[in-house]
Amino acid sequence: SNGAMSNNTNGGISLINRWNGKPYSQRYYDILDKRKNLPVWHQKEEFLQVLKKNQVIILVGETGSGKTTQVCSLFFSFSLVCLLYIPQFVLEAVDLESPDKRRKMMIGCTQPRRVAAMSVSRRVAEEMDVTIGEEVGYSIRFEDCSSARTVLKYLTDGMLLREAMTDPLLERYKVVILDEAHERTLSTDVLFGLLKEVLKNRPDLKLVVMSATLEAEKFQGYFGEAPLMKVPGRLHPVEIFYTQEPERDYLEAAIRTVVQIHLCEPLGDILVFLTGEEEIEDACRKITKEVGNLGDQVGPVKVVPLYSTLPPAMQQKIFDPAPPPLQEGGPSGRKIVVSTNIAETSLTIDGIVYVIDPGFSKQKVYNPRVRVESLLVSPISKASAHQRSGRAGRTQPGKCFRLYTEKSFNQDLQPQTYPEILRSNLANTVLTLKKLGIDDLVHFDFMDPPAPETLMRALEVLNYLGALDDEGNLTKLGEIMSEFPLDPQLSKMLVVSPEFNCSNEILSISAMLSGHHQQLSCMGPMPPDGMYHRILIPNCFVRPREAHKAADEAKARFGHIDGDHLTLLNVYHAYKQNNEDPSWCYENFVNHRALKAADNVRQQLVRIMARFNLKLCSTDFNSRDYYINIRKAILAGYFMQVAHLEHSGHYLTVKDNQVVHLHPSNCLDHKPEWVVYNEYVLTSRNYIRTVVDIRGEWLVDIAPHYYDLQNFPQCEAKRVLEKLYRKREREREENRNRK
Ligand code: ADP
Ligand code: MG
């Protein structure tokens, strides 16, 4: 090993990057100086010592202390390689260039959010002076930016779970880091249980659990009293302000507060927490406009949005410096970041002095009674509010403006985040666990076990879909379904689509339905009834405020009178026919990014289809059956999400008997007797969104096991179905008689 060392070091300073053999750039040394100031930097040695003696470590530290960037990149230092590879170290060290060796010595660091995985890996690649996708990479759903050279990989927790499906002992990793553990996302919670098992079979594997807030004792207890390391925080004091009265419109209040700060407060950047893409873009436009109206008495502002579907190059802008004064000696500029929860703990933006916290985030809520999972804008928790205010005190004392009353903070906000596993539909998770070979779900070591009803519901759904047999074992169909990174209904629809001779079209529809899947914000409590504010729609249609009419007309041109799924298909086809032209998108009020994303998703789904020899086929477009087959295939996946039009003129969901309304965004020109819906939106009114017209006969033909009238609540739908069954029975009899 001495030989290798002396080649690469000179007076204790490394000049050659050991991992790619290139000399370090000046930028490397510049960033190195910054890194040396991070609290985690000073505890590297201690960390290595603890890691050497233990299989699991819990690491807790304030956001911005360098956990995500510095702990992971430790692997790039010689010492961690030594630690993990003694005694075979000599051999390995010489062989760092061999991809084969690298493959089994990876370090994987999970992030609950895609944006964080991308952004942090880019930063670390820069810090390590390597090209992103080579030594340092990332992997998120539908996008893999890593290679055989990759030794440090940031990936979403969902992706690590997917990897475990083919690599149950996670053998490619030497260290797994579960970052942002305090977020308690569904996938991280499942990974806890899974890794606990894997560690028993892999004595050489190390696990690091990293968390921002202090749920740490809970993690410690769960992992058999693993040592806890605390990185001392270096937060400056943050003064908290509340509103005197509740705000009617938090968006308007947030914008007003930004302008006030810019007018009256000393220099320092502003961070505003909002809930999603549309709201954030809207706020950015308004802030820019209102500050513009103030004239040149005030300094210039640079307003930057941050949300999960923003393209990576735009995400980077949050790290740009504030703009300089317009003219020399003039008032200085300010950066204003308008972000989702991503900026709460996942990404640290230096220089923030003012935080505006309206008290809301978009959260997943599951209602097992009606089996509906929705994303709702809901009040955050006290812990979350505390994290948000902390963002103002990273570099100097700061101020946090909470756009709610102190009374509301004390009385209405829940103390802690409710783990996502307790507010999710678990069908997908159960399918994954089954695929991982975990059959006994009741005894699986969940940190917070989900309600038995929720597990039962999930098993039942998978059984109806044919993914599990009556004994709860994975079927052949279930095996294939589990390979698709999609909800079980969606993957079922895809897998059976060749039987309806329309897999090409179903692929396009599936991609359109999941292409701009919104990243979930998972902090915060269950919202009390009636607290839902704005519901945001991920949408491939653009509807700018100043051009409502033109946008609606454009959308109507794509509209298919039989349903929104078919409209989405029309949009996709038109996009392809127009050569994916961005200006065509612009002229037709179609979101180019959403379409591009969908197209990318489609290509990946095609690859999975090919792996299982699922045929790509289409019904002749001129055939009367073209759209009928597509609608039938949709039903084959979504037969549990059907609503029936009652004589009263209302829709009732089948079996659950909930009154629902067609979402105003629908494209139908009539009220069909039966519809399949993709989404159930809970507000003061219950809407079903993305609906398609289907026929009652198809229910009887395609899903008789679900539409089994023996255990069916009394309702109009049941009486109609009884007639349909009798009709089918008569037809069968006539057929027999004819023969
Ligand atoms: P933690 O995981 O403890 O919250 P991080 O490791 O994410 O902290 O960040 C440590 C520091 O690295 C931050 O305070 C920030 O200054 C810096 N940093 C992280 N990402 C970037 C980036 N993309 N550009 C500039 N600085 C960054
Ligand atoms: Mg972090």
Please give, one letter per residue, the 3-state secondary structure of 258-298.
HHHHHHHCCCCEEEEECCCHHHHHHHHHHHHHHHHHCHHHC
Dist CA 168 CA 552 (whole Å): 49
pLDDT of residue 700: 95
The response to whether residue 123 sits with its C-beta less than 6 Å from ligand 1 reads yes
Tell me which DSSP letter residue 523 carries. -
pTM of the model: 0.86
pLDDT digits (tens, 9 = 90+) for 532-564: 222 223 478 888 778 889 999 999 999 999 999
pLDDT of residue 702: 96
Question: Are residues 183 and 154 in contact, defined by beta-carbon separation less than 8 angstroms?
Answer: no
Give the other-Cβ count within 10 Å of 422's Cβ. Answer: 17
Q: Residue 120 CA: which ligand is closest?
A: 1
- For residue 122, which atom of ligand 1 is closest to its CA? 23
Tell me which DSSP letter residue 159 carries. H
Using most ligand atoms within 8 A of CB, pick from 348, 350, 352, 395 the residue to mutate for ligand 1.
Answer: 348
Give the other-Cβ count within 10 Å of 472's Cβ. Answer: 14
Region for 110 from its dihedrals, namely left if φ exceeds 0, alpha if ψ lies in -120 to 50, beta otherwise: beta
The response to whether residue 66 sits with its C-beta less than 6 Å from ligand 1 reads yes
Q: Over 80: is that where the pLDDT of 369 sits?
A: no
Dist CA 607 CA 599 (whole Å): 13
The response to whether residue 64 sits with its C-beta less than 6 Å from ligand 1 reads yes
Give mean pLDDT, residues 315-328. 91
Give mean pLDDT, residues 424-433. 92
Using most ligand atoms within 8 A of CB, pick from 31, 67, 69 the residue to mutate for ligand 1.
Answer: 69
- For residue 316, which atom of ligand 1 is closest to its CA? 23
Measured in Å, residue 117 CA sits from the centre of ligand 2 at 10
Residue 94 — very low, low, confident or very high, per pLDDT cuts 50/70/90? very low
pLDDT of residue 81: 66
Q: Residue 181 CA: which ligand is closest?
A: 2
Q: Over 60: is that where the pLDDT of 570 sits?
A: yes
Q: Residue 315 CA: which ligand is closest?
A: 1
Dist CA 536 CA 278 (whole Å): 7
User: What is the distance of C-alpha 536 from the center of its chain?
Assistant: 15
pLDDT of residue 49: 86
Residue 90 — very low, low, confident or very high, per pLDDT cuts 50/70/90? very low
Nearest-CA residue for ligand 1 atom 27 is 123
Measured in Å, residue 696 CA sits from the centre of ligand 1 at 56
Q: Over 90: is that where the pLDDT of 684 sits?
A: no
- For residue 71, which atom of ligand 1 is closest to its CA? 6
Q: Over 80: is that where the pLDDT of 418 sits?
A: yes
For 611, residues 6+ apart whose C-beta sits below 8 A from its C-beta are 483
- For residue 346, which atom of ligand 1 is closest to its CA? 4
Nearest-CA residue for ligand 1 atom 10 is 66
The response to whether residue 315 sits with its C-beta less than 6 Å from ligand 1 reads no
Tokens of 634: 């949709």
The response to whether residue 346 sits with its C-beta less than 6 Å from ligand 1 reads no
The response to whether residue 68 sits with its C-beta less than 6 Å from ligand 1 reads yes
Q: Residue 43 CA: which ligand is closest?
A: 1
Instruction: Decide which of 367 and 217 is more confident.
Output: 217
Q: Cα dist. 367→66, 422, 424, 645, 687 in Å? A: 38, 10, 8, 23, 14
Q: Residue 182 CA: which ligand is closest?
A: 2
For 657, residues 6+ apart whose C-beta sits below 8 A from its C-beta are 713, 715
Measured in Å, residue 672 CA sits from the centre of ligand 2 at 50
Question: Are residues 700 and 707 in contact, defined by beta-carbon separation less than 8 angstroms?
Answer: yes
Instruction: Decide which of 739 and 419 is more confident.
Output: 419
Residue 40 — very low, low, confident or very high, per pLDDT cuts 50/70/90? confident
Measured in Å, residue 201 CA sits from the centre of ligand 1 at 34
- At residue 485, the 3 state secondary structure works out as coil
Dist CA 218 CA 189 (whole Å): 12
pLDDT digits (tens, 9 = 90+) for 471-489: 999 999 999 999 998 889 9
Region for 170 from its dihedrals, namely left if φ exceeds 0, alpha if ψ lies in -120 to 50, beta otherwise: left
**pLDDT exceeding 90 applies to what percent of the chain?**
63
User: What is the distance of C-alpha 118 from the center of its chain?
Assistant: 13
Dist CA 289 CA 303 (whole Å): 11
Dist CA 385 CA 273 (whole Å): 10
Residue 100 — very low, low, confident or very high, per pLDDT cuts 50/70/90? low
For tokens 């109009």, the residue is 716
Dist CA 234 CA 213 (whole Å): 14
Tokens of 681: 């939106």
Q: Are strands 651-653 and 642-645 parallel, antiparallel or unpaired?
A: antiparallel
Tokens of 619: 């019904």
Dist CA 414 CA 381 (whole Å): 5
Tokens of 684: 């003061």
Q: How many residues does the chain have?
A: 739
- For residue 179, which atom of ligand 1 is closest to its CA? 2
Measured in Å, residue 297 CA sits from the centre of ligand 2 at 38
For 356, residues 6+ apart whose C-beta sits below 8 A from its C-beta are 254, 257, 258, 261, 270, 271, 272, 273, 400, 401, 403
Question: Are residues 381 and 416 in contact, defined by beta-carbon separation less than 8 angstroms?
Answer: yes
pLDDT digits (tens, 9 = 90+) for 701-720: 999 999 999 988 889 999 99
Residue 13 pairs in a beta bridge with 10
Give mean pLDDT, residues 724-739. 92
Measured in Å, residue 98 CA sits from the centre of ligand 1 at 30
pLDDT digits (tens, 9 = 90+) for 118-177: 999 999 999 989 999 998 999 988 889 999 888 899 999 999 999 999 899 999 998 999
The response to whether residue 43 sits with its C-beta less than 6 Å from ligand 1 reads no
Instruction: Decide which of 367 and 600 is more confident.
Output: 600
Radius of gyration of the chain (CA): 27
Measured in Å, residue 119 CA sits from the centre of ligand 2 at 11
Range among 297-301, 621-625, 657-661, 676-680 rated most confident: 621-625
Region for 184 from its dihedrals, namely left if φ exceeds 0, alpha if ψ lies in -120 to 50, beta otherwise: left
Instruction: Decide which of 18 and 648 is more confident.
Output: 648
Q: Residue 31 CA: which ligand is closest?
A: 1
The response to whether residue 417 sits with its C-beta less than 6 Å from ligand 1 reads no
Measured in Å, residue 269 CA sits from the centre of ligand 2 at 21
The response to whether residue 319 sits with its C-beta less than 6 Å from ligand 1 reads yes
Instruction: Decide which of 105 and 295 is more confident.
Output: 295
Which helix (H) or strand (E) element contains residue 587?
Answer: helix 582-587
For 63, residues 6+ apart whose C-beta sits below 8 A from its C-beta are 212, 344, 345, 348, 387, 390, 391
The response to whether residue 63 sits with its C-beta less than 6 Å from ligand 1 reads yes
Kindly provide the residue ranges of all beta strands, DSSP E only, lying in 179-268, ordered along the sequence. 206-211, 228-231, 238-242
Ligand 2 ion local residues (Cβ < 5 A): 67-68
Using most ligand atoms within 8 A of CB, pick from 36, 121, 123, 345 the residue to mutate for ligand 1.
Answer: 123
Residue 105 — very low, low, confident or very high, per pLDDT cuts 50/70/90? confident
Dist CA 388 CA 380 (whole Å): 10
Cis peptide before 87 (omega within 30 of 0): yes
Tokens of 8: 């690469």
Q: Residue 39 CA: which ligand is closest?
A: 1
- For residue 119, which atom of ligand 1 is closest to its CA? 23
pLDDT of residue 149: 86
Tell me which DSSP letter residue 164 carries. H
Nearest-CA residue for ligand 1 atom 13 is 64
Measured in Å, residue 352 CA sits from the centre of ligand 1 at 13
Dist CA 529 CA 365 (whole Å): 12
Dist CA 507 CA 337 (whole Å): 37
pLDDT digits (tens, 9 = 90+) for 47-86: 888 988 999 999 999 888 899 999 878 777 766 666 665 4
Closest CA to 370 of 688, 11, 657: 657
Q: Over 60: is that where the pLDDT of 217 sits?
A: yes
Question: Are residues 524 and 361 in contact, defined by beta-carbon separation less than 8 angstroms?
Answer: yes
Question: Are residues 148 and 99 in contact, defined by beta-carbon separation less than 8 angstroms?
Answer: yes
- For residue 40, which atom of ligand 1 is closest to its CA? 3
Residue 57 pairs in a beta bridge with 208
Q: Over 70: is that where the pLDDT of 323 sits?
A: yes
Residue 651 pairs in a beta bridge with 645, 660
- Terminal CA-to-CA distance of the chain, rounded, Å? 86
pLDDT of residue 470: 95
Q: Is 27 exposed, middle or buried (0-12, 13-18, 19+ CB in 10 A)?
A: exposed
Dist CA 241 CA 253 (whole Å): 14
pLDDT of residue 93: 44
Average pLDDT of the chain to the nearest whole number:
87
Dist CA 207 CA 473 (whole Å): 31
